[in-house]
Amino acid sequence: MQDPRSSSTLEEHIMSTTLFEKIIAREIPADIVFEDDSVLAFRDINPQAPTHVLIIPKKVIPRVGEAQEEDQLLLGYLLLKAGEVARKLNLENGFRLVINNGRDGGETVPHLHCHLLGGRSLEWPPG
């Protein structure tokens, strides 16, 4: 068994750390709009609407399709906080929540996240 403090284990951890984990750890800056012990919300760097915020659990869940029974409360909490963030950002005319799952679903970071989109009329189907 390899010592978890060895450099190769550390290198493997650094390589497997997602962009969102680095934002949570403050290794990468982000425009944070909400944070508590369980959830972090920050503005998307490539916004698809006037308001585009990513809301992520601090616990790493790669994607919603891999969530476990034990994640049930956290998933509900994530949606409640999405509504709270939308109210805070004055999206009273409406907003959209999007959760991508897998490559064909548009997922680019393997860390569960909700896209909160608003500030304009959103078309359907989304594309």
What secondary structure letter does DSSP report for 122? P
Sign, CA dihedral 36-80-110-43, equals: negative
Tell me if 53 sits within 8 A of 118, measured CB to CB: no
Q: Out of 13, 52, 111, 113, pick the active-site residue.
A: 113
d(CA 82, CA 40): 10
Could you confirm whether 113 is annotated as catalytic?
A: yes
Residue 42 burial (CB count, 10 A): 20
Number of alpha helices (DSSP H) and beta strands (DSSP E) in the chain: 3, 5
Q: Which residues are catalytic?
A: 113
